[in-house]
C-alpha cells in the first residue's frame, strides 16, 4: 500500500468524479456508508495505477512524479485495491486500469447530469403461460432504461400473476381480463394524475391476448416505453441497425368477417387458413418468422406504423365488422398492437389463442 500523502484537493476530486463508488469494473460499491449498519463512513482507498514507487505494482521511472496526480489515482474499495496490487497485479496493467477509471467517471458524469424529466415508472405484467411465469430482475429492467431514462424508484408496479389454471377456457380468460383491468385501474389509471412523473416503462410476459388487452388499457394517450425480453438475456434494445422488413399480405376477396394474422415469431397463416378459409384474410409477416427478430426499437416502431395503418384499412374495407386476430408475435408487438388500436375508429377485436389442436376465442375487445 502507498505511503504517499494525497492532497485534500485531489481526494475531493477523486470522490466527486467517482460519485463515491469503487471504480473497479463491476464493483461499483458505495464507499460512503457501511453496507450492514448503513452508518455514514469513509471506506475509500486512494489507489495508484502506476505505483508511487518504481518497485511497486506497475511502477515506472515516473512513479514519484505521478504519486499525487489525480489522473493516476482510482477511488477503490479495500478489497479491489488489495486485489489489483497483489493477486491481480499481472492481470490488470496500467492501461486497463486507466480505462476502468475513465469509463466509470464518464458514466458517473452522465448519470448525475440526467434531468428529472427522464424518469420512468417501471410496470411489470406477468401472467401464466402454461405453468411458466418468469422472475423479473430489477437490475436488468433498470439497465434497459439507461442511458435514456432511469427508474423513479426501486419498486416496480406489479400488475399481478394469477394462478387460474383449473378453470374452464372461458372462465380463465374472464378472470384474467377482470384481474388485469382491476390491477391496471388500481395501480395506474386511477392514480396516474397524482404522479409527479407519468412516463411508464412496460415489461411483460403473458399470453398474447392479454398483452393486446393491456395495450388497449395503456393506449397511445399515455407515454409508454415498451420493452422486449431478449434471447441473449436482459431487456435492453440493441443498436437501431435492423434491416427487418415487414410484409403485408392483403386478400383479393374482402367479403365476410375479416381476420388479421401476425406470423412473426412463427408462421401460422396456413393453420388459420385451414380453419377459416382464405376469404378476407390479412397478414403481417417477415421473410423468416422467428422468436428473436425483434431486437431494436426502430423495428418495433416500424411494426407500430404498419399495424396502425392496416387496422384502419381493414376496418374501413370490412365495414367495421369484428376483426378475428390470430397471434404469433413477440410480447412488445402484441402490446403495441393494442396501443395503436383506436376504440372509436377501428373494428372490435376478437382475439384467438391456440389451444393444443385449434384456435379458440379468448378475448373480445369492443369499440366505442
* Percent of the chain at pLDDT exceeding 70: 95
Look over the chain and give the mean of its residue pLDDT values, rounded to a whole number.
Answer: 92
Question: For residues 9 and 118, what is the distance between their CA atoms, to the nearest angstrom?
Answer: 33
Residue 163 has pLDDT above 60, yes or no: no
pLDDT range class, residue 130, cuts 50, 70, 90 = low
pTM of the model: 0.74
User: Phi first, then psi: what are they for 313, rounded to 5°?
Assistant: -65, -45
Query: Given this model, what pLDDT does residue 135 score?
Result: 67
Question: For residues 177 and 132, what is the distance between their CA atoms, to the nearest angstrom?
Answer: 18
Residue 172 has pLDDT above 70, yes or no: yes
Query: Given this model, what pLDDT does residue 129 score?
Result: 67
pLDDT in tens, 74-122: 999 999 999 999 999 999 999 999 999 999 999 999 888 877 688 999 9
Residue 144 has pLDDT above 70, yes or no: yes
Query: Given this model, what pLDDT does residue 253 score?
Result: 85
Q: What is the mean pLDDT of residues 29-55?
A: 92
Residue 201 or residue 368, greater confidence = 201
Amino acid at each position: 500500500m502507498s505511503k504517499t500523502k494525497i492532497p485534500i484537493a485531489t481526494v475531493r476530486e477523486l470522490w466527486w468524479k467517482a460519485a463515491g463508488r469503487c471504480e473497479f469494473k463491476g464493483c461499483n460499491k458505495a464507499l460512503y456508508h457501511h453496507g450492514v449498519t448503513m452508518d455514514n463512513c469513509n471506506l475509500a482507498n486512494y489507489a495508484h495505477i502506476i505505483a508511487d514507487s518504481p518497485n511497486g505494482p506497475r511502477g515506472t521511472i515516473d512513479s514519484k512524479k505521478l504519486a499525487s496526480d489525480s489522473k493516476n489515482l482510482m477511488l477503490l474499495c479495500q478489497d479491489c485495491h488489495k486485489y489489483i496490487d497483489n493477486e491481480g497485479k499481472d492481470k490488470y496493467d496500467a492501461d486497463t486500469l486507466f480505462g476502468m477509471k475513465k469509463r466509470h467517471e464518464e458514466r458517473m458524469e452522465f448519470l448525475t447530469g440526467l434531468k428529472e424529466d427522464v424518469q420512468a415508472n417501471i410496470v411489470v405484467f406477468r401472467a401464466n403461460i402454461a405453468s411458466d411465469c418468469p422472475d423479473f430482475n430489477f437490475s436488468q429492467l433498470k439497465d434497459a432504461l439507461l442511458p435514456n431514462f432511469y427508474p423513479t424508484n426501486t419498486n416496480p408496479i406489479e400488475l399481478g400473476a394469477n394462478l387460474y389454471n383449473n378453470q374452464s377456457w372461458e372462465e380463465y380468460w374472464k378472470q384474467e381480463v377482470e384481474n388485469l383491468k382491476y390491477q391496471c385501474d388500481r395501480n395506474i389509471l386511477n392514480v396516474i394524475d397524482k404522479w409527479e412523473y407519468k412516463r411508464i416503462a412496460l415489461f411483460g410476459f403473458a399470453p398474447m391476448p392479454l398483452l393486446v388487452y393491456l395495450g388497449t388499457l395503456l393506449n397511445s394517450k399515455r407515454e409508454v416505453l415498451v420493452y422486449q425480453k431478449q434471447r441473449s438475456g436482459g431487456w435492453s434494445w440493441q443498436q437501431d441497425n435492423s434491416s427487418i422488413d415487414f410484409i403485408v399480405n392483403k386478400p383479393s376477396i374482402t367479403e365476410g368477417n375479416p381476420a388479421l394474422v401476425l406470423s412473426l415469431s412463427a408462421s401460422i397463416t396456413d393453420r388459420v387458413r385451414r380453419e377459416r378459409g382464405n376469404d378476407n384474410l390479412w397478414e403481417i409477416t417477415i421473410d423468416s418468422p422467428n422468436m428473436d427478430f425483434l431486437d431494436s426499437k426502430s423495428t418495433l416502431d416500424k411494426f407500430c406504423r404498419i399495424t396502425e395503418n392496416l387496422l384502419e384499412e381493414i376496418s374501413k374495407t370490412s365495414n367495421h365488422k369484428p376483426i378475428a386476430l390470430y397471434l404469433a408475435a413477440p410480447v412488445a408487438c402484441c402490446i403495441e398492437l393494442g396501443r395503436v388500436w383506436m376504440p372509436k375508429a377501428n373494428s372490435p377485436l376478437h382475439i384467438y389463442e391456440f389451444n393444443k389442436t385449434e384456435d379458440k376465442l379468448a378475448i373480445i375487445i369492443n369499440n366505442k
